[in-house]
Each structure stands twice: as structure tokens, then as C-alpha cells.
């Protein structure tokens, strides 16, 4: 790309990030800096001890712990959390956990405009985005709203050592997917492209040592650094075919979030590669290869023991047509035209666990 042809817009998002092993100790100061005096601590049911640890560290500034965060934020849970925030006169939330806990904080912020401090413990990246999601009667709605962007994010890699190996890998691929789609997004920009490339490099470097030893703090730091970069890319760009497909698979069939991203990503990248040469070049640099990045990512997922088929995630082959319908239902930007035939072929390969098939530029 020549300098003359380069034109872009870039909007920095207002938030503070504190990063580093042990940075959870900064949480009380961060909450105080934001002027918060009564925060509601949010976490998942099986992460209650971490929620309590955070509340204890906050002392009087913690009003209560609500250990009810669930995948895709069911509206009933959001209603309960909002009611509790009102009842307690909470003036903010601290969400500790993965995308589910942070998503619940966002659901409160969406209605009550309370500031959220996010303490992410997976690599999903929700903490860096103004994107919210709510699920009602099996249908997930999402939107962008600046009120739900966390005011502060504390990344403490020590909190991620308990993330099981399998979830570490798939959550890492979830982050990589944000970077891949950010590289060919219609609103990408030079800074975001650098962040995406570095995010993919750091995550793919970190995952093998994490699988060998989940307590390796250097590797955990590298992975969370990558999650920050990839999440920031997601927060600033428009999503394309990959995220639309995963949204349909998760929302309609309730397939597990990170695992679905891991299976689908190489197939979407192969689908788009011929129409996104700059993205492919950046990914090849990030992966340190001259080979096809889609195939490299598929091989890496297999080597790290991640699922490689939608079938093993519990998807019925007969559901392929309705997911393909959902993917083409409304238009959105994507490097290759999104056709029903093309998406059906992609889904068949992903369902069966075949290697990704490149398609020619259309």
C-alpha cells in the first residue's frame, strides 16, 4: 500500500489499563480514583472465591458479590443484577472473570450508566469493547454503546493461571479471531493493524508454553498482553463473516463460545484470504511463516488439542442450512462476497473437521 492511497479514521476509546502480575493490588486505588464508594462485584458461580477475594480487598467500597454471571447474559440475570444495584445504591461495578462476568457489568451499565471496572481472567477481550449482548428466549441481541465500555481494566496475568489448558487455548483463538477480522475490517487503520499483527504473534507464541505449564507466568503475561491488543482491535472495528457466523452458532444452537471461534476461524480466513492480501501478509509475518496462515492456525489448534469440528461441539449437520441462512440474512462488510453456497461449503468443512479450503477471489 502506498502512502498516498492510505486514508483512515481512528477513534481512541477512553479507558485506563493497568497491566502486570500482581496488579490486582491496584484495584482499591483504581476504584477510589474513579470516585466509587459502593461497588457491586460480579463473577461467575464457579468463580465465587475470586469474587470474594476482590470484595475483601475492596473492604467498605464493596457493597456485595453477585456470583450469577452466565454465558451470553440472559435477560433474567441482567434484571436481577440491575435490581440489586439499585437496591444497594451501587455507584459502580467490578466485573471479575471472563466475557460472561464483564457482559453482566455491561448490562447494568447499559441501563444505569454505572462505571464498570473490568478484571478479565480469560482472553475473550470484552473488557476492551463498547459492545453489549443480551439473550432473551434463545435470541441474542448485541449493540454498541459508549456507556458500556469499562472505565478501567486491570489485567493481572496471575489471575489466569487457573484457567484450564483447553479453555486457555480456545479463549486464545477467540482473541486471535478479533485480530484477524480487524486486519480486513472496512474501518481498520495502521495502528489497529500493528496491534492485530502483534496480538496474533504474542498469542500464538504464548499458547504452546501455557499448554505445557499453565503456571508459566511469562507465557500467561504474553497471552494476556495479546488479549488486550486483540480486544482493543475488536472494540474499534466492524465485525465480518467470522463473528457473524459464531454469533449465529452460539445464539441459535448454544454452541460454546470460545470453542466455536476456534473451529470456525481457519475456515473463514481461508474463505476471505484471496480477497484480503494485506491481512494475509500481516498474519504470515505474525506466525513467522511463508505458508498459508489459515492452514497454520488450523494446524496449531490441532497441535494444542483444541476442537477442530463443529460436530464434536454438538452441532447437528441438519442445522447447517439455517446457520447459512442467518449468515446471509442481512448484508455486512466482508472481503469476499458472502454467498449462501459459499457459507454452506464453509460450514460443511468446519462441521466435519476438514482442513480449511481456500477459495479463489470472486
**Residue 81, interface with ligand NAD (CB under 6 A)?**
no
Q: Which stretch binds ligand NAD (CB under 6 A): 84-92, 121-129, 207-215, 321-329?
A: 121-129
**Please, what sign has the CA dihedral across residues 34, 36, 42, 43?**
positive
**Residue 99, interface with ligand NAD (CB under 6 A)?**
yes
**97 or 293: whose CB is closer to ligand NAD?**
97
**Residue 260, interface with ligand NAD (CB under 6 A)?**
no
Chain residue at closest Cβ approach to ligand NAD: 99
**Residue 356, interface with ligand NAD (CB under 6 A)?**
no
**Residue 168, interface with ligand NAD (CB under 6 A)?**
no
Burial class (CB in 10 A: 0-12, 13-18, 19+), 113: exposed
Site size toward ligand NAD (CB under 6 A) is 28
Pattern of binders to ligand NAD over 270-309, x per CB under 6 A? Answer: ----------------------------------------
Q: Which stretch binds ligand NAD (CB under 6 A): 97-105, 206-214, 267-275, 293-301?
A: 97-105
Q: Which of 98, 105, 115, 356 binds ligand NAD (CB under 6 A)?
A: 98
**Residue 133, interface with ligand NAD (CB under 6 A)?**
yes
Q: Which of 49, 86, 162, 289 binds ligand NAD (CB under 6 A)?
A: 162
Q: Which of 92, 115, 125, 150 binds ligand NAD (CB under 6 A)?
A: 125
Q: Which of 23, 160, 188, 189 binds ligand NAD (CB under 6 A)?
A: 160
In angstroms, the CA 253 to CA 138 distance is 9
Q: Which of 85, 93, 119, 159 binds ligand NAD (CB under 6 A)?
A: 159
**Residue 46, interface with ligand NAD (CB under 6 A)?**
yes
Q: Which stretch binds ligand NAD (CB under 6 A): 13-21, 23-31, 156-164, 337-345?
A: 156-164
**Residue 122, interface with ligand NAD (CB under 6 A)?**
yes
**Please, what sign has the CA dihedral across residues 72, 96, 264, 12?**
positive
- Residues at the contact surface with ligand NAD, assessed by CB under 6 A: 44, 46-47, 71-72, 97-101, 103, 121-122, 124-126, 129, 131, 133, 159-160, 162-163, 167, 171, 234, 257-258
Amino acid at each position: 500500500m502506498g502512502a498516498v492511497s492510505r486514508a483512515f479514521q481512528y477513534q481512541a476509546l477512553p479507558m485506563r489499563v493497568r497491566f502486570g502480575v500482581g496488579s490486582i493490588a491496584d484495584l482499591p486505588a483504581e476504584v477510589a480514583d474513579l470516585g466509587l464508594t459502593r461497588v457491586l462485584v460480579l463473577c461467575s458461580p464457579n468463580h465465587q472465591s475470586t469474587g470474594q477475594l476482590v470484595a475483601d480487598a475492596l473492604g467498605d467500597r464493596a457493597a456485595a458479590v453477585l456470583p450469577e454471571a452466565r454465558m451470553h447474559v440472559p435477560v433474567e440475570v441482567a434484571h436481577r443484577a440491575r435490581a440489586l444495584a439499585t437496591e444497594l445504591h451501587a455507584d459502580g461495578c467490578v466485573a471479575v472473570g471472563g466475557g460472561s462476568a464483564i457482559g453482566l457489568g455491561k448490562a447494568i451499565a447499559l441501563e444505569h450508566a454505572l462505571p464498570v471496572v473490568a478484571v478479565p481472567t480469560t482472553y475473550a477481550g470484552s473488557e476492551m469493547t463498547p459492545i453489549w449482548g443480551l439473550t432473551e428466549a434463545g435470541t441474542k441481541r448485541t449493540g454498541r454503546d459508549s456507556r458500556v465500555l469499562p472505565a478501567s481494566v486491570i489485567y493481572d496475568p496471575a489471575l489466569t493461571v487457573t484457567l484450564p489448558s483447553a479453555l486457555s487455548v480456545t479463549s486464545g483463538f477467540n482473541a486471535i479471531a478479533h485480530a484477524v477480522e480487524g486486519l480486513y475490517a472496512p474501518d481498520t487503520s495502521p495502528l489497529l493493524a500493528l496491534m492485530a499483527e502483534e496480538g496474533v504473534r504474542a498469542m500464538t507464541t504464548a499458547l504452546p508454553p501455557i499448554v505445557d505449564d499453565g503456571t508459566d507466568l511469562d507465557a500467561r503475561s504474553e497471552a494476556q498482553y495479546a488479549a488486550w491488543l486483540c480486544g482493543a482491535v475488536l472494540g474499534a472495528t466492524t465485525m465480518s463473516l467470522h463473528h457473524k457466523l459464531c454469533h449465529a452458532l452460539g445464539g441459535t444452537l448454544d454452541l460454546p463460545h470460545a470453542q466455536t471461534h476456534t473451529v470456525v476461524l481457519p475456515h473463514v480466513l481461508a474463505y476471505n484470504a484471496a480477497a484480503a492480501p494485506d491481512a494475509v501478509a500481516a498474519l504470515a509475518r505474525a506466525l513467522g511463516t511463508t505458508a498459508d496462515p489459515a492452514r497454520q492456525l488450523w494446524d496449531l489448534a490441532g497441535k494444542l488439542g483444541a476442537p477442530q469440528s463443529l460436530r464434536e461441539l454438538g452441532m447437528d449437520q441438519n442445522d447447517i442450512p439455517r446457520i447459512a441462512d442467518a449468515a446471509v440474512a442481512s448484508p455486512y462488510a466482508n472481503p469476499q462476497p458472502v454467498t449462501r453456497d459459499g457459507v454452506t461449503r464453509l460450514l460443511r468443512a468446519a462441521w466435519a473437521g476438514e482442513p480449511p479450503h481456500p477459495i479463489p477471489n470472486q
